[in-house]
Structure 1
Amino acid sequence: MINMRYDIQTIGIIGVGTMGSGIAQIAAQSGHTTYLYDTKAGAAQQAKEKLAQTFEKLVEKNKISAEQAQAANNHLVIAQQLEDLKACDLIVEAIIERLDIKQSLMQQLESIISDNTILASNTSSLSITAIAANCSKPERVVGYHFFNPVPLMKVVEVIQGLKTDPDIVDVLNQLSRKMGHRPVVAKDTPGFIINHAGRGYGTEALKILNENVCHFSEIDRILREGVGFRMGPFELMDLTGLDVSHPVMESIYHQYYEEIRYKPSPLTKQMLDGKQLGRKVNQGFYNYETGSKVGEQPVQLVERLNEYPKVWIAADFSEDQKQLESYLIGQNIALDTGEQPHPNSLCLLACYGEDTTHAAKRLNVQPEQAVAIDMLCGIVKHRTLMPSLVTKPEYRLAAHSIFNLDGGMVSEIAESIGFVGQRVLSMVINLGCDIAQQNIATVDDINAAVRLGLGYPFGPIEWGDHVGGQKVLLTLNRMATLTYDPRYRPSPWLQRRVALNLPLTFTSNDKKGIYQC
């Protein structure tokens, strides 16, 4: 239903850099008269000309018709001065990320526009409530956070400040869909949904690297090939640039009053200071001077051995035990089926959240015989093995060779809590659950925001259901117990649903509506 008070036909864009031009493109293509304004002389005209070229390219690629391109061009109007925006129904600012400048702009606009004009900020990190604080009508100020490149990133966060009119949120949701984007509604909290949810990935990967668990490229490989992320965290930081990603880490950490889960790494600060920013300067974690990525460690392969020890399996979950038995039998590896392992058997431990030493101690097996394996995401494509500090070389070699037998990829890491995949994915899922617990957004919006905004194969909460909430909770509990580190404390959302044997995506209903907690 159309809200007649906020019927958006005309949109003003202030700041026509990459983000502002992208917003203008989808606004014009969706049939809205779109004003372009920038304080830099000639910038609005240049943006209009570049958008005309973009529309031509879309015609050449058969993405839009020539008539649609012409219509979009006709919808773009140059605003010579701020006063030219007075008739706009919606004004979106995409200017510098400085609170004082955004506050000043909002006050300036209030002296020009009508009572029903919506003022939106494309801020990625500043509080909408703070931006609106000095306005005479703070209820008309809203966050409208797009992602770059806007036409391709089909998600937009609609952020409701403390005083934002809920009708405005509804109207922007409708507008977003008309422009071809999935709106996700968030409370005005640090990082909103997407930048907040993204803290679980790179931050934990950096902590693993800091603990010398394995090379950064091995972490990338495990999380890409074994877990299913589109890019490894260090590849992603190189692509984004540490001049962008490290300040976001620091900002969210400080805005949440030094919450330990978001603690940045000294390494990325050091790299930032040393201008080792990533692809844009040809050197980040990897080197790009040749035009392609250099610095990835090769996959380690172990040839078939003449003889293999019997393998004794201990697994925290029966499905993991069955999968390992099936694989070993398929590779003609003899199983040790005794209640306790034979002194000459390889002990394969499918544990969660522990290091190999503690798993061996819990299971009453000799750590010299033990190799742990990460089963959180199965072993179809990739296997992560973790010997103990004292595992004998012949058992390490045998385990590696066994899991190379079918051509599968193997990563061998130093002994540590929670492997790599378990640890990072559990943090991603736990953080998603905590965002839901805080009622920052609905479960559906959290999942959609992360899939579309971060490119994960699943949203964090649905991913927890995919791999199993019990496994995630066990991983977190054991890591918290072994390290005494509060960063691994499990979310109440996760604990409660696992205790009740419910999906993590479960929300309860009653006559008053849907309650997230």
Structure 2
Amino acid sequence: MSLSLSKQSVIAVVGAGAMGAGIAQVAAAAGHRVKLLDTRAQAAEQAIAGVRAQFSKMAAKGKMTSEAATEAGERLIAVTELTDLADASLVIEAIVENLAAKQKLYSDLEAIVGVDCIFGTNTSSISVTAMGAALKHPGRLAGLHFFNPAPLMALVEVVSGLATEESVAQTLFATATAWGKTAVHAKSTPGFIVNRVARPYYAEAMRVLAEGGADTATFDACCREAGGFRMGPFELMDMIGHDVNFSVTRSVWNAFFNDPRFLPSLVQQELVDAGYLGKKTGRGFYDYSADAVRPAPATESAKATPTHIVVYGESIVAKALAARLQANKVAFTQSPAKGDLLAQAGDAWVYVTDGRTATRRAFESGTANTVLIDLALDYNTATRLALSVAEACDDAAAAQAIGLLQSAGFAVSRFNDVPGLAVMRTVAMLANEAADAVNQGVCNAQGADAAMRLGVNYPCGPLAWADVVGLHNISLVLNHLSQTYGEDRYRLSPLIQHKVYSKKNFHD
């Protein structure tokens, strides 16, 4: 088992911006002497002053003692020359995202530091393999990708390039763990884990928007209130900045030789072209001007509770629906499972979406009054559900389905009849991308789930979530989306196929 770098090891951080300062704070708090270098005059000194102020605030809040705060601050040293880093055991660069600049930095350092010094690049997107190709000893280089803000975000991706020595990756993994972080191993492929697997969270939302399935506020609300995500995709893109988010998407798409799975959205291209970059410019998908009113999600008006309700089977969804109806003292009957029918509400037949449109499902089943509901992280506690209605469904039956959900305590957002609604298609695509990353040896299932929970605050790892939904159901959703769109974008990961055929889950 690899040991972490000892507290006597000097840590060097090159780049005193937000990421570099944050990484320096983490290392100093863990007990290391930290040298901070930046080519900009006084930048390192100013960053250290800011970190020391953070330590003082933490002491004031009782998160560390005053003595520990003072000592941690004193371990931070501003330096001005690369030669000042000669005694470093680990050099972490957090400079501009430019391959040539990073290669030059580490090439210059090779003539200065000891042979055992490890190079840990904080790059979020540049190939570690390509960076190492310029070094005499590329085995000493690995990715050490912190997430912003580094002191608060728990995840660190330890990224191995083709030449990275296993002992180097293991030492960085152990060191990050000793610093209080959750480290995950990753292979140097485009986007590593998080920036790759997260692409569908944005892409599926923009596709539904482009097709008129739902507006931004409604889609976001469903992702939060049904999916349990901390932020919906549109508000999250506004916060990140569309220039940044679009650039990452294009970078991953180009790096995968224009694989349609990562195809950028024309919707976002328009925002970038218009200069509507999100919060930082005052406008993105939402208007952030002082007098702007935040749009409310589309919510169905109150409908009468159906006089005839039947809940079918013992699925997770059926049990939750029955429990909510009971809690609200709504009369209903329970019957044995009837295929994948969830409930009858008067004349409406209610199903959980399987990736088909309600209209297609009605046609194929011969049941005109077909209504679909979306996936929820927890149907027992979700406060909102998306719903779609077949073209042939009559208005009275649609109202009965809406009344059923409202009587169970859900706010109901009616989508136009797009396949997979909001949460189901998003989770299926996230799970599919995570599965492909595992299948291609980028990470393991545990690493993929930890990365997405801790790196982007997903409420559940996508593969663990897929296990709960059922991999057969996930494969149905993806296959139906593929049939609808006729695009390779929705191709099913070979690993999900294998799991379905072997009747195994990702976390068995």
Answer yes or no: is the 8 Å Cα contact 1:6–1:171 preserved in 2.
no
Identify if the C-alpha distance between structure 1 residues 503 and 337 changes in structure 2 by more than 3 Å, giving closer, same or farther: closer
1:32 is aligned to 2:32: yes
Identify if the C-alpha distance between structure 1 residues 328 and 5 changes in structure 2 by more than 3 Å, giving closer, same or farther: closer
Answer yes or no: is the 8 Å Cα contact 1:349–1:372 preserved in 2.
yes
Alpha-carbon deviations, 1:130-165, whole Å to 9, x = none?
A: 111111111111111101100000111111111111
Within 5 Å, give how 1:399-438 maps onto structure 2: 399-438=401-440
CA distance in structure 2 between the partners assigned to 1:452 and 1:320 by the alignment: 27
CA distance in structure 2 between the partners assigned to 1:248 and 1:122 by the alignment: 15
Identify if the C-alpha distance between structure 1 residues 259 and 284 changes in structure 2 by more than 3 Å, giving closer, same or farther: same
Aligned to 1:97: 97
Alpha-carbon deviations, 1:428-462, whole Å to 9, x = none?
A: 11111111111101222111111110101211111
Which amino acid counterpart does residue 242 of structure 2 have in structure 1? L
* Deviation (angstroms), 1:57: 0.8
Alpha-carbon deviations, 1:51-72, whole Å to 9, x = none?
A: 1111111111111111111111
CA distance in structure 1 between the partners assigned to 2:292 and 2:154 by the alignment: 28
Identify if the C-alpha distance between structure 1 residues 158 and 335 changes in structure 2 by more than 3 Å, giving closer, same or farther: closer
Within 5 Å, give how 1:153-302 maps onto structure 2: 153-290=153-290, 294-302=294-302
Q: Which moved more, 1:376-385 or 1:399-408?
A: 376-385
Alpha-carbon deviations, 1:295-330, whole Å to 9, x = none?
A: 23353322436xx47467789x95555665676785
Aligned to 1:510: none
* Deviation (angstroms), 1:334: 7.8
Alpha-carbon deviations, 1:356-406, whole Å to 9, x = none?
A: 1221122222x2x23222356564323222112232222222222232124
What value does the CA root-mean-square deviation take over the aligned residues? 2.8
Aligned to 2:41: 41
CA distance in structure 2 between the partners assigned to 1:323 and 1:64 by the alignment: 44
Aligned to 1:446: 448
Partner of 2:419: helix, strand, or coil? coil
Matched-pair identity in %: 32
Partner of 1:227: helix, strand, or coil? coil
Identify if the C-alpha distance between structure 1 residues 45 and 466 changes in structure 2 by more than 3 Å, giving closer, same or farther: same
Partner of 1:35: helix, strand, or coil? strand
Alpha-carbon deviations, 1:408-431, whole Å to 9, x = none?
A: 211111112112221111111111
1:472 is aligned to 2:474: yes
Identify if the C-alpha distance between structure 1 residues 97 and 407 changes in structure 2 by more than 3 Å, giving closer, same or farther: same
Partner of 2:88: helix, strand, or coil? coil
Partner of 2:268: helix, strand, or coil? helix
Identify if the C-alpha distance between structure 1 residues 461 and 163 changes in structure 2 by more than 3 Å, giving closer, same or farther: same
Answer yes or no: is the 8 Å Cα contact 2:2–2:170 preserved in 1.
no
Aligned to 1:332: 331
Q: Which moved more, 1:53-62 or 1:317-326?
A: 317-326
Answer yes or no: is the 8 Å Cα contact 1:143–1:159 preserved in 2.
yes
Which amino acid counterpart does residue 62 of structure 2 have in structure 1? N
Partner of 1:463: helix, strand, or coil? helix
TM-score (norm 2): 0.92
Partner of 2:226: helix, strand, or coil? helix
* Deviation (angstroms), 1:48: 1.4
Q: Which moved more, 1:471-480 or 1:15-24?
A: 471-480
Partner of 1:228: helix, strand, or coil? coil
Q: Which moved more, 1:98-107 or 1:395-404?
A: 395-404
Aligned to 1:67: 67
Count of matched residue pairs: 501
Partner of 1:403: helix, strand, or coil? helix
Answer yes or no: is the 8 Å Cα contact 1:309–1:345 preserved in 2.
no
Alpha-carbon deviations, 1:147-205, whole Å to 9, x = none?
A: 11000001111111111111111111121112111111110100111111111211111
Q: 2:505 aligns with which of 499, 503, 506?
A: 503
Answer yes or no: is the 8 Å Cα contact 2:4–2:172 preserved in 1.
no
Aligned to 1:88: 88
Answer yes or no: is the 8 Å Cα contact 1:217–1:297 preserved in 2.
yes
Identify if the C-alpha distance between structure 1 residues 314 and 63 changes in structure 2 by more than 3 Å, giving closer, same or farther: closer
Partner of 1:246: helix, strand, or coil? helix
Answer yes or no: is the 8 Å Cα contact 2:432–2:493 preserved in 1.
yes
Identify if the C-alpha distance between structure 1 residues 3 and 328 changes in structure 2 by more than 3 Å, giving closer, same or farther: closer
1:134 is aligned to 2:134: yes
Answer yes or no: is the 8 Å Cα contact 1:433–1:491 preserved in 2.
yes
Unmatched 5+ stretches in structure 1: 507-517
* Deviation (angstroms), 1:333: 5.7
Which amino acid counterpart does residue 45 of structure 2 have in structure 1? Q
Which amino acid counterpart does residue 142 of structure 1 have in structure 2? A
Partner of 1:89: helix, strand, or coil? strand
Aligned to 1:482: 484
Which amino acid counterpart does residue 70 of structure 1 have in structure 2? T
Answer yes or no: is the 8 Å Cα contact 2:352–2:373 preserved in 1.
yes
Which amino acid counterpart does residue 447 of structure 2 have in structure 1? D
CA distance in structure 1 between the partners assigned to 2:319 and 2:297 by the alignment: 32
Answer yes or no: is the 8 Å Cα contact 2:3–2:175 preserved in 1.
no
Unmatched 5+ stretches in structure 2: none
Identify if the C-alpha distance between structure 1 residues 498 and 410 changes in structure 2 by more than 3 Å, giving closer, same or farther: same
